[in-house]
Structure 1
Amino acid sequence: MRRYAKPIVVADDLGLLRGQTTGVVTLPRHLDWSGAADYNLDSSGRIVDLYRTVLIEATNADDLHAFLDQMVLTRLWPSIWLPPELRRAWEQRFPELRRAASEVSAA
């Protein structure tokens, strides 16, 4: 089994996640070096891409606070693919995310 090699960064409090929720966001190079760092948050596919990218590539909690929003994260959580270790760390800190995911799978 392959282990997740990146350091895992988890927010201290979901209430601190107050990122932009509409319009276009451009991620800094340390989060997205792909050359396609502009994300239109009004596009359902691109917002999921932005959240996945920030969750995986965040180097500190400030990255999370700047680009994620609590309500959007909770809504998108069940549909964001994440490495299992990263998902587990977030769900251990915030059981409400695990509940949101289980409610969607039960529906």
Structure 2
Amino acid sequence: MSGEMSLHPRWSHLADRLPPSLEDLHGPATGVVRLPQHLAWSGLTEFDLGDEQLVIGLYRIVLNNGQREDLVTYLNTGLLRDHWPLLRRVIGKPLRSCWEQHFPQLAPAAAA
């Protein structure tokens, strides 16, 4: 995919973690999510999806530290799209670029 090729080689591994489609993100949209220790090894481990700040914190952790299985388990397509304009500002540029290149449908959300 041409978007992935534009990533600096140092960050090319990020694309390997991504699901094939945003629709593969089947995480919960409501309730409380408890992250396992391999993702949340310090600080909060439980996140109420009714609290926007906690959603941003949860998604930041999973986006930065999660493997593909974690992404599809804990992230929800609708919540990711809804919160992408803020999320893209709190994750690193390489990760943001990778997600936006792999999933161009996030670009309209970022412009909102």
Question: What's the secondary structure of 2:38's corresponding residue?
Answer: coil
In structure 2, distance between residues paired with 1:54 and 1:11: 13
Which of 12, 19, 41 lines up with 2:20 in the alignment? 12
1:50-69 aligned at under 5 Å gives the runs 50-58=58-66, 60-69=67-76
Q: How does 1:1-107 map to 2 (within 5 A)?
A: 7-8=13-14, 9-58=17-66, 60-80=67-87, 81-102=90-111, 104=112
Shift of 1:35: 3.8
More helix per residue: 1 or 2?
A: 2
What TM-score do the two structures reach when normalised by structure 2?
0.81
Q: Which amino acid aligns with 2:85?
A: P
Specify the SS of the correspondent of 1:32.
Answer: coil
How high is the sequence identity, in percent, across the aligned residues? 37
Which structure 2 segments of 5+ residues have no match? 1-9
- TM-score, scaled to structure 1: 0.85
Moved over 6 A (4+): none
CA deviation after TM superposition for structure 1 residue 91, in Å: 0.4
Paired residue total: 98
Partners in 1 of 2:93 and 2:43 — Cα distance? 26
Query: 1:75: Cα distance to partner?
Result: 0.6
RMSD: 1.5
